[in-house]
């Protein structure tokens, strides 16, 4: 087997910028966790106004009331995330020589602004009823709010990876088959997260109340079908696809002798994270949607997407850094 060539250095390494982009990546998981917990305890409407909470940035009682604490903490962490994203984009604009990375920074700003507006519209439009829908307009907006959050996570990971020492120094040039497999896995994960968002926000998490089978007596298919049962079953079916696809992607990485240690470590996570996620999914059903377990399930799902996207992004490093004439 021919060893793929090593890629050339991309740009000067800036330790402070790399550290700040990594901090932004870490903070986004704080935001995801708080958002998941807020939804898990049904605290999304703890305050009926936006962007303030009961007309204040420090509403009375928010430190002692769990619902108010969850929602206001989520809002404060989101505001912090927005400021960090703006600072990161400005930093990239002033110091980064790669045009595509500067553009990615501004795309991240646009994404976090859109996410904030979706969150605000979810609150302000909650009383608006739509004929033919069980959910209000604000409740429907919870679905794109959750999906955009995952895309934003990937965008920050892409920026942080491109600023890292290993990326800047040049490294592994992945074969086309591995890059294609990475894209497929990321696509399936986004489809799964979309299904999960619909299931979660349409109260279909217990539409199939047994696990791992669809019926208490071990049936593969549910006895009765409804929209909620269908979306829940689709979530389980795609989970099985991912339980095969992600370890397969990991094996493809392990078989590449030139792959760096960081990618091999990430590939190991693609074996353990899906297993943990399936166990948490079963625990949600068995515990009747315990908020702590449900929050952990959302967080592990975000981590699984993050690791998969990071590996696929690294595999595309040479294509992203290719000079314009190529």
Of 134, 169, 204, which one is at a domain's C-terminal end? 169
Within this chain, do residues 300 and 236 fall inside the same structural domain, yes or no?
A: yes
10 Å CB burial of residue 255 (0-12, 13-18, 19+) is: exposed
Within this chain, do residues 82 and 216 fall inside the same structural domain, yes or no?
A: no
Within this chain, do residues 70 and 211 fall inside the same structural domain, yes or no?
A: no
**Which residues neighbour 326 within 8 Å (Cβ) at sequence distance 6 or greater?**
none
Residue 321 pLDDT = 83
Q: Is residue 304 part of a domain?
A: yes
Band of residue 11 on the pLDDT scale cut at 50, 70, 90: confident
Within this chain, do residues 146 and 19 fall inside the same structural domain, yes or no?
A: yes
pLDDT higher for 142 or 172?
142
Within this chain, do residues 144 and 28 fall inside the same structural domain, yes or no?
A: yes
Helices 227-254 and 261-286 pack at an angle, to 10 degrees, of 160
Within this chain, do residues 249 and 112 fall inside the same structural domain, yes or no?
A: no
Of 169, 198, 219, which one is at a domain's C-terminal end? 169
Within this chain, do residues 161 and 226 fall inside the same structural domain, yes or no?
A: no
Domain that holds residue 40: 14-169
Q: What would the mean pLDDT of 192-213 be, rounded to a whole number?
A: 93
Q: Is residue 8 part of a domain?
A: no
Within this chain, do residues 303 and 236 fall inside the same structural domain, yes or no?
A: yes
Within this chain, do residues 31 and 64 fall inside the same structural domain, yes or no?
A: yes
- The C-alpha R_g of the chain, in whole angstroms, comes to 21
Within this chain, do residues 55 and 143 fall inside the same structural domain, yes or no?
A: yes
pLDDT at 8 over 80: no
* Distance in angstroms (rounded) separating the CA atoms of residues 126 and 165: 46
**Where do runs of H (alpha helix) occur along the chain?**
15-40, 66-95, 99-124, 137-140, 142-163, 165-169, 176-201, 227-254, 261-286, 291-315, 317-320
Q: What would the mean pLDDT of 246-269 be, rounded to a whole number?
A: 92
Q: What would the mean pLDDT of 298-326 be, rounded to a whole number?
A: 87
14, two tokens: 């800036």
Helix (H/G/I), strand (E/B), else coil: 176: helix
Within this chain, do residues 226 and 81 fall inside the same structural domain, yes or no?
A: no
Q: Is residue 3 part of a domain?
A: no
Number of separate domains in the chain? 2
Of 109, 142, 169, which one is at a domain's C-terminal end? 169
* Mean pLDDT, the chain, whole residue set: 92
53, two tokens: 């909470």
* Distance in angstroms (rounded) separating the CA atoms of residues 197 and 143: 5
Q: Is residue 208 part of a domain?
A: yes
Q: Is residue 302 part of a domain?
A: yes
This prediction's pTM: 0.92
pLDDT at 130 over 80: yes
Within this chain, do residues 177 and 152 fall inside the same structural domain, yes or no?
A: no
Q: Is residue 4 part of a domain?
A: no
**Which residues neighbour 132 within 8 Å (Cβ) at sequence distance 6 or greater?**
none
């Amino acid at each position: 087997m021919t060893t793929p060539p090593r890629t050339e250095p991309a740009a000067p390494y800036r330790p402070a910028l790399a550290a700040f982009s990594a901090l932004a990546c870490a903070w986004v998981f704080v935001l995801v966790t708080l958002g998941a917990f807020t939804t898990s305890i049904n605290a999304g409407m703890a305050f009926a106004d936006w962007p303030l909470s009961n007309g204040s940035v420090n509403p009375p009682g928010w430190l002692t009331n769990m619902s108010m604490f969850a929602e206001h903490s989520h809002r404060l962490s989101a505001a912090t995330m927005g400021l960090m994203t703006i600072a990161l984009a400005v930093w990239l604009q002033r110091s980064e020589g790669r045009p595509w990375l500067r553009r990615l920074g501004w795309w991240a700003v646009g994404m976090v602004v859109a996410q904030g507006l979706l969150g605000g519209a979810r609150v302000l439009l909650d009383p608006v009823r739509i004929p033919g829908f069980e959910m209000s307009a604000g409740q429907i907006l919870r679905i794109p709010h959750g999906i955009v959050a995952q895309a934003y996570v990937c965008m920050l990971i892409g920026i942080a990876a491109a600023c890292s020492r290993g990326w800047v120094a040049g490294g592994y040039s992945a074969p086309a088959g591995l890059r294609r497999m990475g894209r497929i896995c990321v696509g399936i994960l986004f489809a799964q997260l979309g299904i999960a968002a619909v299931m979660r926000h349409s109260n279909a998490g217990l539409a199939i109340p047994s696990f791992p089978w669809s019926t208490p007596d071990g049936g593969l298919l549910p006895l009765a079908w409804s929209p909620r049962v269908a979306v829940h079953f689709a979530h389980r079916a795609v989970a099985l696809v991912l339980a095969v696809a992600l370890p397969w992607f990991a094996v493809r990485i392990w078989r590449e002798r030139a792959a760096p240690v960081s990618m091999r470590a990430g590939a190991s996570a693609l074996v353990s994270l899906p297993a943990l996620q399936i166990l948490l999914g079963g625990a949600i059903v068995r515990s009747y949607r315990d908020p702590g377990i449900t929050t952990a399930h959302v967080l592990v799902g975000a981590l699984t997407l993050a690791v998969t996207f990071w590996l696929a992004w690294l595999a595309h490093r040479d294509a992203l850094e290719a000079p314009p004439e190529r």
